[in-house]
Amino acid sequence: MIKKILIVLCSFIPCLAIGQNYFSDTASLSYARALYEERDFEACEMVLKPHLSISQNDSIYVLYLKVLCSQKRYSSALNLNLPSHFSLKNAVLFKHALSIYLDSFQMINNLVLINPDLKAYLFLKELDTSGVRLLLNTNHLDDSFFVAEELTLITNFKSYNNWPLYSSLLLPGSGKMLLGNNRDGLISMFSFGSYAFLAGRAFDRYGVNSVFAWVNTALAMGFYGANLIGTKNEIKRQKTFRQQQINELVNERIEGFMFAIPH
Span 220-256, pLDDT tens digits? 898 888 888 888 888 888 888 877 887 888 888 889 9
Give the C-alpha separation, 26 to 23, whole Å.
8
Name the residue ranges covered by the structural domains of the chain: 1-111, 163-247
List all residues 6 or more positions away from 41 whose beta carbon is below 8 Å from its beta carbon: 35, 67, 70, 71
Output phi, psi for 174, to 5 deg. Answer: -70, -35
- Classified as helix, coil or strand, 44 is helix
Q: How many residues comprise the chain?
A: 263
Classify each residue of 96-118 as buried b or exposed e, where b means 16 or more C-beta atoms within 10 Å of its C-beta: bbbbbbbebeebeeeeeebbbbb
Position 112 scores a pLDDT of: 63
- Classified as helix, coil or strand, 34 is helix
- What pLDDT digit, counting tens, does each position of 121-132 carry? 888 887 777 888
List all residues 6 or more positions away from 256 whose beta carbon is below 8 Å from its beta carbon: none
Give the C-alpha separation, 16 to 203, whole Å.
98
pLDDT average, residue stretch 25-42: 92
Q: Above 90 in pLDDT, residue 11? A: no
Q: How confident is the model at residue 13 (pLDDT cuts 50, 70, 90)?
A: very low
Q: How confident is the model at residue 1 (pLDDT cuts 50, 70, 90)?
A: low
Position 5 scores a pLDDT of: 53
